[in-house]
Structure 1
C-alpha cells in the first residue's frame, strides 16, 4: 500500500491550504485579482460542493480537496479573531480626529440608514427581529480590503470611502457586542438575561480597558528586553487569546476581546512590532476562513435558488448604492463622486462574513439562512472590481468637465503646460507660480482637477493624449511641456506623440529611474528627470554640507554630477558605476 494512502485528513487539508496560499493566490495576484476573491474561488473549487463531490469516483482527489470543512472551523475562527485584533491595531485616534466630521457624520448615517432599511425589509418578509437586525447590520458593511486599494485615500472618492469604512471598523465593536448579548435569547425576549449579559460584559470590558493600560506596556517592555522574537510573539498571542477567553466567559463573542486587545496595544509604542509579528498569521488564518466560505457555496443550492439569490444580490447592491449616493449628495459631494462612491461601496464585506458567522453561531439566524447570505456576500465580493469599473465609467459621464475658458480668458497666450495633477504636478505648478511663469495644468482625473481648482491652481479636465485638447490649450505656442504623471508607458507614448507633432517643443518629463529616463530620451524628451537620481543627489548634498564642505563647491559638484549622469543616460548607459566592468566609449554609445 502506498504511503500516500495513509495521509491523514489534517495533512491533506494542510496541503490544500498551503497550496492555495503559496501557489494559487500568487497566480491570482499576477492577474491583479485580490487574494480575498482568490481564496473564495479556491474554496469553492476544492470544497465538498466542488471537486470534493468526485472523491468517490476519483480517490486521488482526496489529497487536493477538503471533504470535511468542519475540521477547518477552529482555524477559521482563530483567523477571524486575529483579523479583528489587527483592525484594532490599525485604528488611530489621530486619523479619526482628522476625518471626524465625515466619519461620525457620513459614516454613522450610512451604516445606520442602510442597516435599518435592510432590517425592516427582512423583518416584514418573515425573519425574526433578532435575526433581521443581525443580517441588516452585517449587510450594511462594505469591504475595506477591496475598496481602499481600488479608490486610494487621497481622491474625493477615496476620502469618502475611507470615512465610512473607518466608522464601520469602529462599529464592529458594538455590533459584535450586541450579537453576543442577543445570542442566548435569539428565540425569546428574555430581557432580564439580556441585561445581565450586558452589565457583565461591560464590567469585563471596563476591567480590560483599565488593566490593559497598566499591564500591557510592562508586559511588552519585558518581552522587548529579551530581544527574542519568539517571546514577543508569545506575549502577543497571550494577550489576544486571554482577552478573547475573558469576553467568552461572560457570554460575549471572543471577537470582542480580540478587538479591544488590539485597541489597547495600539496605544503603546509596541503596536508596530506586534502588527508586524501578527501579519503573516492573520493573512493565512483569514485565508482559511475565506476558504471555508467558498466551500460553503453549494452549486446545486445556487442553481435551485438562482432567481432568489440574484434578486438578493441586486437588491443589496442597489439599496446600498442608492442610499450611499444620496447621503453623499446630502453632505455636499459632487454628483460624479456620489455615484462612483455609492457603487463602489455597494457590495457586502469580508466583515459581513464575520458577522454572519457570529450570528449563525449565536443562533440568531438558521444555518440555511446564514449559508444563503454567505453566498450572496461571496458573489458581491467577487464582483466588487466590476462595480468599481462601472462606477468610474458612470461618474465620468456625470459632471461636465471644466472647460479651458473657465480658467483662462486668453487660452492662446503662451504658458507652460503641466500634464498631471498629482503631488509632483502640484509642486511644479507652485514653483512656476512663485517665479511668475504662466502655466495651465491638465489631468484626466476629475476629482484631482476639482481639488486643485479649489486650492487655487489653474487646472482643467481633459485627456492629454487627444490632439484637440492639446490644441485648445495652445500647446503650439507653449514655452515648454512638463509631464509629471507616473504611468510608465503612457508617458513614453505622449512624449513620442508630442515630438512628432511639435519638433521644436521643449519636453521635460518625470522618470522613475535611469532606464525609464533613457526610454523617454529615445522617445524624444528634451530632459528626463529620474526620481532615483535626484533623491541620491539631494542626499549627497545634505550629507556633504553637514560634514562641513562649503555650500558653493557642493552645489557646483552636484550640478556637474547631474550633467554627467544625464549624458550617460542619453547615451543609453547604465546609471550605476561598475569600475571592474569598464567598457569602451563605443560600447557605451551602443
Structure 2
C-alpha cells in the first residue's frame, strides 16, 4: 500500500514540476486525490511523516545558534505577531460565524481564539523546503524566517503542555546531564567519517533526543530540535545536515501525503478553508509592519514576510488536541487541514518569483523602510576589487585562493552565511557578507573596477537570478559560473552568463593536468 502511495506521489510531483510548480504541491494534491479515491491514512505512512518532521527539526537545529534567536527582530516579532494575529483573527472569526451560523455554526470566544492561535504559526516544513530549494536558508531573510519558526514552535509546545495539563516529569532535570556528555558525542561524530555512518549518526542523535524528551513528558520534536542545537557548533554539523537532506526530503513526502489523507471535505468546508486563506494578507501585513518597525531593510522584510505567509502543520496538531478535549468541533480540523494545504501552494508558487516581485515593486516597498539600519543590515564595502567570487563554499573558496595566487591583485569573496564569512576573515581572506540576489546590494556596492565575477553557487536558478540583478545594476564586466550537468551549461549561457564551467568535467581536467605536471617534475628531479 505504501509503495502505491509513493508511486502516485511521484507521478503527481513530476506532473506539477513539468508546469514549473514545486513538487511538494503535487504531493499535497496526491494526498487529497488518494483520499477521494477511498484510501485512508495508514500507521506506516504516519510513522514516515513523523520521522520526516523529526529529522527536519534536527537539521534546523544543526544550522542555528542561540545568538540568532536572541535578536530582537526574531523574538519580538514572533511574540508580537502571535498576540496581534490571535486577537484580530479571533474577533473576526467570532463575528463571521455569527453572521454565517446557518452554514457553518457559531463558535464561542474560546473556540474562535483557539482557531486563530492555531492559524498564527507559519509552516516549518513548507518554509524550510522552499528556502532550501531556492538556496536561501543561510541568507539574512532565510535565517530570520527560520529563527521565527523556531520561536513559534516553542510557543506551540508550551501551549500544548499547558492545554493538556501534561506536566514534564521531575526527571526532566536529568536532561541537563547531556551537556557534560557533549565532548563524547563530539568524538563519536568525528569517528563517523564521511560515508554512510555519518547520516546514521545523525539519525541516532535526532531520535535519541526525541525519545529522551518523550520519556520525561516533553514533546519529542522539541528534543530533536535541541539535539541539533547542541551540536550545531561542531565542525561536521553542516556536512551532517547535507548527508541527511535526501532522507529528510523522502520522509517528508509522507507528511505531505498525510495532510490530504487526514479527511475529505464537503463544499462548505472547502469554501470556509478558502475564506481562511483570504486572511493571509493580514498575516503578511502584520509581519511586514513589525519587521519595518524593528528597522529591517525593506527587501529583507518583504522576502521574510512572503515566505512566512502560510499556515502551519502545528495548526493541525493544536486543532487535533482541541477536538480531543471537546474544545472544538471535529469539522474545524478538516477545515484547518485544507487551509494549511492551500497556503502551502500559495507560498510555493509566490516565492519562486519573489526577487522579481521585489525588483518590480521596489519603489513602493522601500517607502516603508526606516532610515536607521541594524548592524547586520549595513552594506559592505569592497575597495578597488578586480575579481569577485560569489559563494564561498568548497568550490568558491578554491577559486578564490587560486585567483589570489595567480593574479596578485585585489580578489574579494562574498557569501550570505555570516558565520562562514567570519571564519574566512579570521583566516585572512577578503570576504564580505552579502546576498547575490539582492539588487539593493549591487546598487550600493562599488563594482565599477571589477573585471570578472565568478558565481560559485549550487543552484542554476540562483546563478540566473544573480546574473539578472547584476545586469539591472549596470555591471559591465564578465560573469563566469559553474554547472554540474551538461544541460545546465546551455541554460546559463542563454541567461546571460559569459562562461560556464562544467564542474565534474573541469575537475577531471584539472586533476589530470596537475597529475601530469607532478610526473614531469618528478622525472626531471631524477634526470
Measure how far apart 1:394 and its partner are. 4.7
Provide the TM-score with structure 2 as the length reference: 0.63
- 1:467 maps to which residue? none
2:177 to 211, 224, 228: 211
Counterparts of 1:5-84 in structure 2, within 5 Å, are 13-20=1-8, 23-29=11-17, 31-47=19-35, 50-52=36-38, 66=39, 68-69=40-41, 71-72=42-43, 75-76=45-46, 79-80=49-50, 82-84=52-54
User: Are positions 1:381 and 2:369 aligned together?
Assistant: no
Task: Work out the CA distance in 2 between the residues paired with 1:292 and 1:272.
Answer: 29
Q: How many residues align?
A: 441
For the 8 Å contact 1:321–1:343, the answer to whether it is kept is yes
Determine the structure 2 residue equivalent to 1:289. 255
Give CA-to-partner distance per residue, 1:11-58, whole Å, 9 cap, x none: xx22323324555445545555434322211111111xx122xxxxxx
Higher relative contact order (CA 8 A, sep 6+): 2
Query: What does residue range 433-472 of structure 1 map to in structure 2 within 5 Å?
Result: 448-458=438-448
Residues 293 and 268 from structure 1, CA distance in 2 versus in 1: closer, same or farther, beyond 3 angstroms? same
Q: Per the alignment, do residues 238 and 323 of structure 1 end up closer, same or farther by CA in structure 2, a change over 3 Å counting? A: closer
The 1:419/1:180 distance shift into structure 2, 3 A limit, reads: same
Q: Deviations over 1:497-535 (max 9, x none)?
A: xxxxxxxxx995525479799979x99x9x847374876
Structure 1: runs of 5 or more not aligned: 1-12, 53-65, 184-193, 403-417, 436-444, 460-479, 495-505, 554-590
Q: What are the Cα deviations for residues 546-586 of structure 1, in whole angstroms up to 9, with x where unaligned? A: 99969xx9xxxxxxxxxxxxxxxxxxxxxxxxxxxxxxxxx
* Residue of structure 1 in register with 2:275 after alignment: 311
Paired with 1:214 and 1:164, the residues of 2 have a C-alpha distance of 31
Task: Name the structure 1 match of 2:61.
Answer: 91
Pair 1:370–1:484, CA change in 2 (3 A)? same
**Contact 2:144/2:304 (8 A) holds in 1:** no
Alignment of 1:1-400 (within 5 A): 13-20=1-8, 23-29=11-17, 31-47=19-35, 50-52=36-38, 66=39, 68-69=40-41, 71-72=42-43, 75-76=45-46, 79-80=49-50, 82-92=52-62, 95-97=65-67, 100-122=71-93, 126-129=107-110, 132-133=113-114, 135-142=116-123, 143-149=126-132, 152-153=135-136, 159-183=140-164, 194=165, 197-198=166-167, 200-201=168-169, 203-208=170-175, 210-215=176-181, 218=184, 235-236=204-205, 239-240=208-209, 242-247=211-216, 250=217, 252-264=218-230, 266=232, 282-299=248-265, 301=266, 303-315=267-279, 317-333=280-296, 335=298, 338-339=301-302, 341-361=304-324, 364-388=327-351, 392=355, 394-400=357-363
| Separation (CA, whole Å) in 2 of partners of 1:206 and 1:81 | 26
CA RMSD after TM alignment: 5.5
- Paired residues of 1:421 and 1:449 also in contact (CA < 8 A): no
Deviation at 1:294, TM superposition (A): 0.8
Matched position secondary structure for 2:480 = strand
Who wins on radius of gyration, i.e. which is larger?
1
| Gap change, CA 1:138 and 1:260, over 3 Å in 2 | farther
**Is the 2:49–2:258 Cα contact (8 Å) retained in structure 1?**
no
Query: Deviation of residue 178 (structure 1)?
Result: 2.0
Q: Is the 8 A contact 2:306 2:351 kept in 1?
A: yes
| CA spacing shift, 1:530–1:379, aligned 2, 3 Å | closer
Q: TM-score scaled to structure 1, two decimals?
A: 0.57
Find the aligned partners of 1:238 and 1:400 in 2 and give their Cα distance.
48
- 1:355 and 1:450 mapped to 2: Cα distance? 40
